[in-house]
Amino acid sequence: MADDPFALFNAWFAEAKAAERNDPNAMALATATPEGVPSVRMVLLKGHGPQGFTFYTHADSRKGEELAANPNAALLFHWKALRRQVRIEGSVEEVSAAEADVYFATRSRDSQLGAWASDQSRPLDSRATFETRYAEMTDWFAGQDVTRPPRWAGFRVVPQQIEFWTDRAHRLHERRLFTKAGDGWTEGLLYP
């Protein structure tokens, strides 16, 4: 048994990067409304460590609004090639503007412009409307760096529980559960 779930995650994530052909950093993000109505979608992990697991999105998107109203979330990594998954549950905090700026600057210019053109999760009357807005943003930022939109933000899931699941023959899977305890972690096993 290990006593550091982040070291174990780092090892598994390194193996996933080598084994998974597409998006080893893809994770399902589950949020809920204040009334408890769940919603799940795929997002990309953009940073991780003892402080938590970070992704970026529009704060005015459905997930952003749900996180503002109910700052708790669950993540799921499923690495089919390795027959493993990692489940993470915890509270959510917004990253600093400076941290969001640094990450936004690493995105491709087209992705940066798309962030300005999109009213993420809002109804769209036609694809042409979005493409027109994208062209307008391309003109607006011509010859200059694309700055981060004010409502485009990063969110960090601060884990309270991290479960490492390994597939075993005959559905006799192995489940290791780390639970936050003060400044450290406790570890135990779960029945498959």
User: Across the chain, what does the average pLDDT equal?
Assistant: 95
Q: Are 66 and 32 in contact (CB under 8 A)?
A: yes
Q: Express each pLDDT in 85-116 by its tens digit.
A: 999 999 999 999 999 999 999 999 999 999 99
| pLDDT digits 0-9 by tens, 125-173 | 999 999 999 999 999 999 999 999 999 999 999 999 999 999 999 999 9
CA distance 110 to 113: 5
Catalytic: which of 107, 171, 175, 176? 171
Catalytic: 171? Answer: yes
Within 10 A of 44 (CB to CB), how many other CB atoms are there? Answer: 13
- The alpha carbon of 29 is separated from its chain's Cα centroid by a whole number of angstroms, namely 6
pLDDT at site 2: 59
In angstroms, the CA 9 to CA 51 distance is 13
pLDDT at 127: 96
List, as one string, the DSSP characters of 134-163: HHHHHHHTTTSPPPPPTTEEEEEEEEEEEE
What domains lie within the chain, and their CATH numbers?
Answer: 5-190 (2.30.110.10)
pLDDT for the residue numbered 112:
97
